[in-house]
Amino acid sequence: MVNRYLSALILLLIPSLVQGPTNQNQPAQIGPGEIYKMSSPAVVLIETYGDNGKVSGSGSGFLVSVDGRILTNFHVIAHSKRATVRLANEDAYDTVEVIDVDKRKDIALIKIKAVNQPFVKLGHSSTAQIGDKLYTLGNPLGVFQNTLSDGILSGVRQMDGYKLFQLSAPISHGSSGSPVFNSSGDVIAIVEATLSEGQNLNFAVPIDYAAGMLGSTQTHSLESVYEPEEPNRVAESKPSSSDTRNTPNLQPASAPNPSEAIKADPLTYISTKIGVWTKEDAELELGLPIDRRDGVFNNAVAGDIYKYSIPYSGMGIIELNIYRNTKKLGAAYFYYRTVVSWEQVKKTLGKNYKKQKLANGRPGYLYQFGSRQVFVIVDSAESVFNVGVW
């Protein structure tokens, strides 16, 4: 998951020092549709597992050879001893091995036991120029597989012993390890981090750093590079033993007990819990969160947004905003693993909505049901990207 904020904050304070040399023989440019058509079969989803055997995180990667070698970020695989690679054609491989890693630059070369695989064309990051048009192709939130985004190369930032590209292309959690293409369809970087406190402050590792790893062939187990995850605020917010003693009905958060109602219709069920659920209540049915971020309203942190992975009704991810002043659920955001069209939603919710345009140009549709508001965001294909309820 994309979560290296400290490094990102530091690099924002350092001016861009390097700009690649001018290439007098520029290769032919192709459109984003052609880039997607050529490269999307080679982009993969990587799911990692915790000690409890459940999916604990997700990231992206891309095939670089016919025999199943894949480039991704080291942090995608670092905290897990087991992973599954899901291809664009929906084939899944549960045996994932490591060929080489560069921890400093956050690169990993992994392998699945596959043959005759499609693969991307690698370019040279040294030829990239600030202002160049770029495209990313990944799996935002581990749900929206093969999502194409565009932007420009905004800067080149000097880190401790290496450089990072700064991009304006939108990046979300789950996009770590995605390929970054130039306008010729060549991969010139690997998506590495996003700074959620800013606007379009996203970073990628230049592909030239990975080129030297491609000659390695010997494989090792994931466990050989395993690193325990550092304690974070999610872990610190688990119910304490005193909380459990004072609440006899509170079951362990690591053993969720979902109701039939949430399995049948998570959106409707959880909507009834707004203003009711505490974080501990949510964990009874959803288990422990897999991520946490600040909930910002009017430029101030007003809550904690916890992300949960659930497999009900075609859904992949639910995010719950627990307001800090009330300690209650204030809003919920639903992300779907299967495609849900805007037309389907309109048939369910009706046509009494107000159309709004988000800052990024994406259309949104606001419904008002008594004191409850529902906001639906769709992508360019009019598939539902997100449903928010508060």
**Residues designated as active site:** 75, 106, 176
> Across 117-248, where does the E strand assignment appear?
133-138, 147-158, 163-167, 179-182, 187-194, 202-206, 220-221
Cβ atoms of residues 61 and 93 within 8 Å: no
Rounded to an integer, what distance in angstroms lies between the CA atom of residue 87 and that of residue 46? 9
d(CA 316, CA 341): 16
Surface-to-core class of residue 6, CB atoms within 10 Å of its CB (0-12 exposed, 13-18 middle, 19+ buried): exposed
Nearest-angstrom CA–CA distance, 161 and 254: 40
Take residue 2 and report the two structure tokens written for it: 């994309």
Torsion, CA 29, CA 33, CA 37, CA 38, rounded to 10: 10
Burial zone of 160 (CB within 10 Å; 0-12 exposed, 13-18 middle, 19+ buried): exposed
For residue 330, give the nearest of 314, 338, 319 by alpha carbon: 319
Q: 331 has which bridge partners? A: 321
Torsion 38-58-75-388 (CA) sign: positive
